Amino acid sequence: MKILVCISHVPDTTSKINFTDGDTKLDTNGVQFVINPNDEFGLTRAMWFKEKQGVTVDVVNVGGPETEPTLRKALAIGADSAIRVNTAATDGFAVAKQLANVVKAGGYDLIIAGRESIDYNGGMVPGMLAELIGANFITNCISLEVDGTNAKAVREIDGGKETVTTTLPLVIGGQKGLVEESDLRIPNMRGIMMARQKPLSVVEPVAATKETSTLKFEKPEPRGAVKMISPDNLDELIRLLHNEAKVI
Partner 1 sequence: MSVLVYTESEGGKLKKIAFEVASYAKAVADQMGTTVTAITINADDVSELGTYGVDKVLKVKDSKLDTFNAKTYANIIKQAAEKEGTKVVVVSSSEDSKYLAPILAVGLDAGYASNVVEAPTSAAPFTVKRNAFTNKAFVFSTIDTDVKIVGVSKNTFGLKEKSASATAEDFSPSIPENGVHVDSVEKATNTVTIADAEIVVSGGRGLKGPENWGMIEDLAKVLGAATACSKPVSDLGWRPHGEHVGQTGKPVAANLYIAIGISGAIQHLAGINASKVKVVINSDPEAPFFKAADYGVVGDAFEVVPKLTEKLKEFKAQNA
What is the C-alpha separation between 15 and 13, in angstroms, rounded? Answer: 5
> Site mask, partner 1, residues 117-146, x = CB under 8 A?
-xxxxxxxxxxx-xxx---xxxxx-x----
Of 157 and 207, which has the nearer Cβ to partner 1? 157
The residues, any chain, with a CB within 8 Å of residue 4's CB and separated by 6 or more, are 57, 58, 59, 60, 102, 103, 106, 108, 110, 111, 112
- What is the distance of C-alpha 126 from the center of its chain? 9
Q: What is the nearest approach in angstroms of partner 1 to the Cβ of residue 112?
A: 16
Is residue 240 a contact residue for partner 1 (CB under 8 A)? yes
19 interacts with partner 1 by CB under 8 A: yes
Taking CB under 8 A as the binding criterion, the range among 57-65, 102-110, 185-193, 221-229 that sits at the site for partner 1 is 221-229
Q: Does 186 bind partner 1 (CB under 8 A)?
A: no
State which of residues 167, 193, 201, 202 lies at the interface with partner 1 (CB under 8 A).
167
Among 164, 183, 188, 196, which residue interacts with partner 1 (rule: CB under 8 A)? 164
Closest distance between partner 1 and the C-beta of residue 150, in Å?
Answer: 11
Q: How far is the CB of 246 from partner 1 (least distance, A)?
A: 9
Among 2, 176, 185, 198, binds partner 1 (CB under 8 A): 176
Residue 139 · residue 127 · CB < 8 Å = yes
- Cα 119 to the chain's mean position, in Å? 9
* Of residues 11 and 187, the one with the C-beta less far from partner 1: 11
Measuring CA to CA, which residue among 44, 10, 35 is closest to residue 177? Answer: 44
What sign for the dihedral angle of Cα 38, 61, 125, 146?
A: negative
Which parts of 195-214 interact with partner 1 (CB under 8 A)? 210-214
Q: How far is CA 121 from CA 3, 117, 230, in A?
A: 24, 5, 38
Q: How many residues bind partner 1 (CB under 8 A)?
A: 78
